[in-house]
Amino acid sequence: MTKIKKYVPIVGQGVIDELYFLAEKFGGKTVQNINSTAVGGGVAEILTRMIPLMRQLGVEVLWDVIKGNEKFFSITKKFHNALHGINVTITDDDFKYFVSVNHENAKEINFSGDVLFIHDPQPIALVDMKHEHGKQWAWRCHIDFTQPQADVMNFLQSYIEKYDSAVFSAPAFSRNLSIPQVLISPSIDPLSDKNKELRMDKIDRVLERFGIDKERPIVTQISRFDYLKDPLGVIEVYKRVKQYVDCQLVLAGGGATDDPEGLEVLEKVRTAAAGDSDVHIIFLPPASDIIINALQRASTVILQKSLKEGFGLTVAEALWKAKPVIASAVGGIPLQIAHKYSGILTYSIDGTAYYLKQLLNDQTYANKLGINGKEHIKHNFLITRHIRDYLLLFLSLYHRGDIIHL
Ligand code: UDP
């Protein structure tokens, strides 16, 4: 477990003192997180790192994961896609089944926390237990809500409004709601295996293991194999640039237990890349943090060509390593990248290919983008800022309408 004092050299003593102060104000209450997967994806990533740190601050934190079968997760994946603006058909039976699985889970969960902190749509209907258990309920949304399909949005909104507060990752996702809503961006942990400094020989060993040539440029996208991460678009970008620059492409990622589409996407990606030994498709098991860290550090340029994105933790991870990043201007990515200052924002395959060629040909400019990006992440998107925002949120739940005297 990483000791909280290890963050002092990165963020300063004042930041850590403030966290202890806020935790003390929260006064021995328990926060109970509930989501739908223990591994894979950004939510699990953040909770895994944040919970031990909050416990060191003296906050009691619990984490429960709801259970669901294939049918449930294929419905929640349809929700996910519909919320991201993809046209999908969701039947009345789907909605009913979704609620029934939530209610089944509710029977098994011991709602012992003072604050119930529910993450994303999958467990949203647990809030029906609020009338039995009382307490403070906050709903934390990590996904892109800019163009949701109306039926799913209306269904979810009827649940969101049962909560005491809703939390979104970027201003563009806020809704017209009858409950208070707050903006809290996600974060990365600079001391996790995913982000800590790595020795060069360790990085080289990972490259050797996957047959990647360290002498030629490496272009990487780290993502779950999901259509919304557009891995097929990335291959198209690579093919266009490869005509001019002798580079390699690394597409690395795994699946999440709540995403049934992953293997289908992986197959399509393999077919699209067939026959090119400079395309490395790496299917990663959970807990591949050191490998991801090494691949990011070894990369010349990092892509995140998502069609939709909640926040895009992989962008923050790459920028923290001072890498030049070219990413789509979707979801929370524009919060992380100021175009042509701390990275490049793009809107198309053509645009991404154009800038990739430019950055591969101009290493000085590319390096400058990476250095600026690192500074931006340091000031805005590290885990200490995230814990501070959560503690303030939890405190606010007990001081609705008050001015808090600290
Ligand atoms: N990640 C991982 N293994 C994988 C793919 C992704 O550990 O195979 C991590 C990635 O490094 C990042 C998180 O999962 O920390 C993904 O968060 P992001 O916000 O980029 O996307 P999400 O998967 O939540 O849509």
Are residues 211 and 292 located together in one domain of the fold? yes
pLDDT bracket for residue 251 (50, 70, 90): very high
pLDDT tens, position by position, 31-53: 999 999 998 778 998 999 999 99
Ligand 1 atom nearest to CA at 45: 15
Are residues 349 and 387 located together in one domain of the fold? no
Residues spanned by the domain of 33 = 4-187+382-398
Are residues 207 and 150 located together in one domain of the fold? no
pLDDT tens, position by position, 272-312: 999 999 999 999 998 899 999 999 999 999 999 999 998 99
Are residues 165 and 31 located together in one domain of the fold? yes
Are residues 23 and 92 located together in one domain of the fold? yes
| Least confident segment among 75-84, 242-251, 354-363, 397-406 | 397-406
pLDDT bracket for residue 370 (50, 70, 90): very high
Are residues 220 and 233 located together in one domain of the fold? yes
Whichever domain contains 357, its CATH number is 3.40.50.2000
pLDDT tens, position by position, 57-100: 999 999 999 999 999 999 999 999 999 888 999 999 999 999 99
pLDDT tens, position by position, 149-191: 999 999 999 999 999 999 999 888 888 999 999 999 999 999 9
Ligand 1 atom nearest to CA at 229: 25
In a domain, 192, yes or no: no
Average pLDDT in the chain: 95
In a domain, 403, yes or no: no
Are residues 170 and 235 located together in one domain of the fold? no
In a domain, 125, yes or no: yes
Are residues 123 and 209 located together in one domain of the fold? no
pLDDT bracket for residue 351 (50, 70, 90): very high
> What pLDDT does residue 84 have?
86
> What pLDDT does residue 369 have?
98
- 131 C-alpha to ligand 1 centroid (Å): 35
- 3 C-alpha to ligand 1 centroid (Å): 24
Residue 391 pLDDT > 70:
yes
In a domain, 193, yes or no: no
Query: Alpha-carbon distance 89 to 112, whole Å?
Result: 37
pLDDT tens, position by position, 112-132: 999 999 999 999 999 999 988
Are residues 213 and 275 located together in one domain of the fold? yes
- 276 C-alpha to ligand 1 centroid (Å): 26
Are residues 314 and 273 located together in one domain of the fold? yes
In a domain, 195, yes or no: no
Residue 215 pLDDT > 70:
yes
- 313 C-alpha to ligand 1 centroid (Å): 7
Are residues 212 and 179 located together in one domain of the fold? no
- pTM equals 0.92
In a domain, 404, yes or no: no
Which of 145, 169, 223 should be mutated for ligand 1, with most atoms under 8 A from CB?
223
| Least confident segment among 147-161, 210-224, 248-262 | 248-262
Which residues' Cβ are closer than 6 Å to ligand 1? Answer: 41-42, 45, 194, 222-224, 253-254, 284, 288, 292, 310-314, 317
> What pLDDT does residue 134 have?
73
Are residues 323 and 288 located together in one domain of the fold? yes
Residue 382 pLDDT > 90:
yes
- 224 C-alpha to ligand 1 centroid (Å): 6
> What pLDDT does residue 121 have?
97
- 139 C-alpha to ligand 1 centroid (Å): 21
Which of 221, 302, 314, 333 should be mutated for ligand 1, with most atoms under 8 A from CB?
314
Higher pLDDT, 131 or 317: 317
Query: In the chain, how many domains are there?
Result: 2
Residue 406 pLDDT > 70:
no
Indicate which residue's Cα is closest to atom 17 of ligand 1.
Answer: 42
What share of the chain in percent tops pLDDT 70? 98
> What pLDDT does residue 256 have?
66
In a domain, 228, yes or no: yes
- 239 C-alpha to ligand 1 centroid (Å): 24
In a domain, 405, yes or no: no
